[in-house]
Structures are given as structure tokens and as C-alpha cells.
Amino acid sequence: MLKRFFSYYKPYKLLFIIDFGCAVIAALLELAFPVAVNQVIDKLLPNKDWGLIVTAALALLFFYFLNMFMQYIVTYWGHMLGLNIETDMRRDLFAHLQKQPFEYYDNQKTGKLMSRMTTDLFEIGEVAHHGPEDIFISIMSLVGAFLLMMTINVKLAVMTIVLVPILGALIILFNKKMTGVNTQIFKDLGSFNAGVENAISGVRVVQAFANEGFERERFGLLNQTYRQSKLMFYKVMGFSFSFNYFLMRLITLFALFFWVLFCN
């Protein structure tokens, strides 16, 4: 399955390389900016060498503009890459549906098939764009931050990095829960689209038999089922984000505790 998924990148190798390269450069610059600003504040400002300070400020301004340009490429061209892959997948899916026998459509609802070709493929396109670069950048940022911390204080860096696997395990746990809820949302969305498609396509029959009340009740049930699925997703997401926020702040607190206890 992964081999087939990555085959959709082949026609857009150059676009992927540009997007991925710009994302990596932007991430490296984000790691370098705090270090550069810290050097200006700690070393240049106390000496009051205004010529060097202005030069450093202009250099930072240049790299800020460069990073802004990189962010534009990642945002626009990266989404273009995902959209191209999504379009190709939708073309292949439509061709696959045309080859199915009549019995297949007897057991499938039109709304669910439409949901597969729209919402589901949109999510796959987003993964195609963000997935590879986000994984690489996250690992690179973690390693880069650890190396920078090592140059400042080895003991504190080691003690802090020990907490990262715990945080990673909890994030994976919450992501699994969100994936399960998200899968249910897609199923409910398919049923919702199927119900809406049937109601709209059969509206003449409904009006002819004055059956609007029944259709409103059925639509209300579908609408509430989809709402409950979304609420469950937001509940898990809210708990995940808030707990991750707490853990990130807890790392800061542990770093302070380790500093007082072992590094002084």
C-alpha cells in the first residue's frame, strides 16, 4: 500500500524536492534565529559596537525575509503537490468505480462513494503534503535542539531529553484515539452524504406523497449523529492538546528542578 502511495510522487519529483528542501531550510533557520539573537544581546550590545550591531540586525532581517519566502513556497507549492496527488488519486478512483459490476452499486450508497472521492481524498492529499516533511523536520528539530542544549549544559540537556520518549509515547496514544474517532467521523459523514443525496434526488416523490415530516426527522437523526461524532473528536483533541501543553510545561519545570539540584 505504501509503495502504491509513494508512486504518486513520481510525476512531481521536482516539486517535492523544492517543497521538502525549503521546509528543511526554514526549520534550520528557525533553530538558528534564537542563537543569533542571543549572541547579539549577550556579546554585541554590551560592547556597544554599533556598526557590527547594525550589520547583524540587517543580516537577521535578510534571513527573516528569506524564511518568509521559504514559508510561502512550503505553503503554496507544498499544497500544490498535495492537490496534484489528490487529483491523480481521484482520477484513478473514478476509473476504478467505472469498472465495478452492477452488484457493487447495489450494495453501495452514492453519498458514501462521493465522500470517498471528496473528503477522504482531501485528507490523503494533506498527508501527502505534510507527512514526509513534518516527520523529518520534527526529528531534525529535536536533534538540533538537543545539540544546541549540549553546547550550553551537558547535564541539563541529557536530563531534559530523557523526558522526550515519555512525551512521545503519550502523543502516540492520543493520536491512536483521535484516529479511531476520525475514522468514525468519516463513516458518519458518508452516511450523512448518502442521506442528503437520497433526500434531494427523491424530493419530487417526497412532496408528491407529503412525506416532508418523515424526511426531516430522518435528516435530523443523521445530522445529530454526525454532530456527536465531531463532538467526540473535539473532546479527544481538546484533552490531547491540553495534556500535551501541560507535559511541555512540565519539561520546563523539570529542567529548572534538575538545574537547581544537579547543575549548581
Which tens digit of pLDDT belongs to each residue from 210-236?
777 877 887 788 788 778 877 877 777
Average of per-residue pLDDT across 109-118:
75
Task: Count the Cβ atoms, other than its own, within 10 Å of residue 111.
Answer: 22
Residue % of the chain over a pLDDT of 90: 5
Instruction: Enter the pTM of the model.
Output: 0.68
Q: What is the spatial distance between Cα 78 and Cα 23, in angstroms, rounded to a whole number?
A: 9
Domain ranges of the chain: 1-112, 153-264
Residue % of the chain over a pLDDT of 70: 95
Among 169, 161, 170, 163, which Cα is nearest to 142's?
161
Q: How far is CA 215 from CA 104, 194, 209, 210, in A?
A: 26, 13, 11, 10
Q: How far is CA 189 from CA 99, 119, 192, in A?
A: 25, 9, 5
**Residue 101, SS3 per DSSP:** coil
Q: What is the spatial distance between Cα 109 and Cα 197, in angstroms, rounded to a whole number?
A: 9
**Residue 153, SS3 per DSSP:** coil
Q: What is the spatial distance between Cα 130 and Cα 145, in angstroms, rounded to a whole number?
A: 21
Which tens digit of pLDDT belongs to each residue from 37-88?
777 777 777 777 777 778 888 888 898 899 899 889 988 998 889 889 989 9
Query: What are the helix (H) ranges across the chain?
Result: 2-6, 13-39, 45-47, 50-98, 102-106, 110-115, 121-152, 154-161, 164-201, 203-208, 212-258
